[in-house]
Structure 1
Amino acid sequence: MDLGGGRPAQFRFDLKSANGLLTGTASVPVGEASFVNGRIRDQHLSFDTQHRLPSTGRVVLTRFSGEVHGDTITLDINSEGAMSRLLVRRAMPSP
């Protein structure tokens, strides 16, 4: 994801679903984030992440919602009023 000014950011998600609940972990540009409120129904999913900013210690809540299309997920991100869209692709397992 391009944060503007040529500053790239990478996200990594490890998602698991069971009985309509979505759990997992996320690596976001400022570190690891925990999942809360994860839901999945058909191809629609939503979850929030919480992470602590290393510089201030403040906890930031980021909301994700989107749709699964095969091996990709289109996610809308709302973090502190800033909206973004992210296309996530399934990583192939290492041999």
Structure 2
Amino acid sequence: MPRKIISLFLLFSFVILFVGCTKYAKQEEIQQLNNLKAEVEQLEKEIKAKEQEKASLQNEISQRDQKLKELQSEKEKVQQRLQQLK
């Protein structure tokens, strides 16, 4: 029984010392963290803008591909008419 009491006392003392010796962030570290958070937010905004730009460009590519197909089809029709006229 005394060993349990001593063990509990030592454990309790260790916990108190461990919690009491916790290192807190310095003002400089907090400032660095805030700077990093701001940088992350800015980068996330840039990513969103680039994703929107990418979607816009993909839409433009799709429209141009469609126009190209239409023009190729029209070219083929013109070439067939020219051969018929010969």
TM > 0.5 fold call: no
TM-score (norm 2): 0.14
Name whichever structure is richer in helix by fraction.
2
Greater relative contact order: 1 or 2 (C-alpha under 8 angstroms, separation 6 or more)?
1
Larger of the two Rg values belongs to structure: 2
Name whichever structure is richer in strand by fraction.
1
